[in-house]
Structure 1
Amino acid sequence: MSAVRENGVIVAIDGPSGAGKSSLTKLLAQRLGYIHIDTGAMFRAVALMSKRAGIATDDDARLAELCRGLEVTFVRDGENCRVLANGEDVSTEIRTEEIGLLTSAISARKPVREALLTMQRAMGAKGGVILEGRDIGTVVFPDAEVKFFLSASAEERGRRRYLELAARGDKATLEETIAKVIQRDQQDEGREHAPLKQADDALPIDSTSLSIEEVLTVMENAVRERLAQDDKR
């Protein structure tokens, strides 16, 4: 294990869509006083901007050009974090089901992954950060000091997503939502570049029957244990 970096450790949280990564990352960052780097939002921002520009998901040349001219930043707004794409607040627009499915296809493209990989590594190099996604512990920061792989059954993840959509007033059935979760899993696991995969040294957590607080406690204890190990050196 490496020593703690300038600002602390790097925490990588990977897992499939709907496993609760975003919510848990935000809460864990608050408890530890760490910075939350939402990598999923970065890919969603690229997907949104590519849709607006009418770029096909397999047009690598135009996607690379788009990424070169795109700046994604995060602005803290109380306990929440707003996502800006070239200064425009796209926090709500990137969270639609359409953009979610498009993101899975866009994020599989090599030029997109390479461009955002550079951004993410620069953001997190000094530590004191928590990143969540699908390949953080395997590709973005394979040397992260603490890694988690968060999962839950497709049915449970679909149920959670359905309740989120219903609360927003979006029309969807539970069956349709579960089917989309399964479709997203297949896309993420089967893509050529950086597929969804658990790192060998990641701590697996199945949240199907666990509360957010229970999962959060497991994560916080693991990080603090890792920090305590370095304090003794």
Structure 2
Amino acid sequence: MIIAIDGPAASGKGTLAKRVAEHFGYACLDTGLLYRAVARDVARQGFRLEDIWAAIAAARGLDPASFDDPALRGTAAGDAASIVARIPVVRAALLTYQRDFARRPPGAVLDGRDIGTIVCPDADVKIFVTATPEIRAKRRFTEFEARGDTVAYETVLADILVRDARDSGRPNAPMAQAADAMLLDTSNLSIEAAFDAVVGLIKRKIGP
């Protein structure tokens, strides 16, 4: 069983993917961590994120054991990931890892931006999670406040819009809702309501 959950930043797809995986007893992969790790390794080696050869080397030498690195969390890591994710060979290098993960028995939940369209086009269930840019920016802003970070809401919103444009506008594997994906708008939903909605969509697709 493969469940693909796609969507833009701060839409809630990551939280939902984890809860869905726990609910059904499946493995869970935040594919964004792969790109964040690549960007981190490129930067730590002293290269620019735009240095294609360095990004490719980092992707091919990625260590999954490092995915729990706190440095992979936060807006800066996400923005950096969005830059290396534009490199076709980097995406190709990470594709095998993602597809192998998806085949783990008894099932797997993968969240990202191109799971239902590129990584697992044959996924059993595809869900595209979204919310308005303003709502997503407010969620991210609240996260920053909780961590004690000082940042203006307007800055967070601007970053969200730039990230959306970069992810949906890249020529290789752009963020997009798969034609057969079910849409879930979480703008006016609590995390509990969104989770119930996702489980309902999955059960409607695969049965109880």
TM-score tier after normalising by the smaller chain length:
over 0.9
Equivalent residue number for residue 9 of structure 2 = 17
What residue ranges of structure 2 are gaps of 5+ in the alignment? none
Q: How does 1:119-138 map to 2 (within 5 A)?
A: 119-126=97-104, 128-138=107-117
CA contact (8 A) 2:113 2:175 kept: yes
1:39 is aligned with what amino acid? T
CA contact (8 A) 2:60 2:94 kept: no
What are the Cα deviations for residues 116-160 of structure 1, in whole angstroms up to 9, with x where unaligned? 111000111245100000000000000001000100000000000
Cα separation, 2, equivalents of 1:60 and 1:19: 29
1:149 is aligned with what amino acid? F
What residue ranges of structure 1 are gaps of 5+ in the alignment? 1-8, 74-83
Cα separation, 2, equivalents of 1:146 and 1:45: 27
CA contact (8 A) 2:167 2:175 kept: yes
Cα separation, 2, equivalents of 1:219 and 1:228: 13
Alignment TM-score, normalising by the size of structure 1: 0.85
Cα separation, 2, equivalents of 1:96 and 1:126: 28
CA contact (8 A) 2:6 2:112 kept: yes
Q: Report percent identity of matched pairs.
A: 39
The answer to whether residue 145 in structure 2 is matched with residue 166 in structure 1 is yes
Question: Per the alignment, in what secondary structure is the counterpart of residue 37 of structure 1?
Answer: strand
The answer to whether residue 156 in structure 2 is matched with residue 177 in structure 1 is yes
The answer to whether residue 126 in structure 2 is matched with residue 147 in structure 1 is yes
Structure having the higher helix fraction is: 2
CA contact (8 A) 2:27 2:104 kept: no
Q: How does 1:48-67 map to 2 (within 5 A)?
A: 48-67=40-59
Q: Supply the RMSD in Å over aligned alpha carbons.
A: 1.4
Structure having the higher strand fraction is: 1
Question: Per the alignment, in what secondary structure is the counterpart of residue 199 of structure 1?
Answer: coil
Alignment TM-score, normalising by the size of structure 2: 0.94
Cα separation, 1, equivalents of 2:145 and 2:41: 26
Cα separation, 1, equivalents of 2:207 and 2:162: 41
CA contact (8 A) 2:37 2:62 kept: no
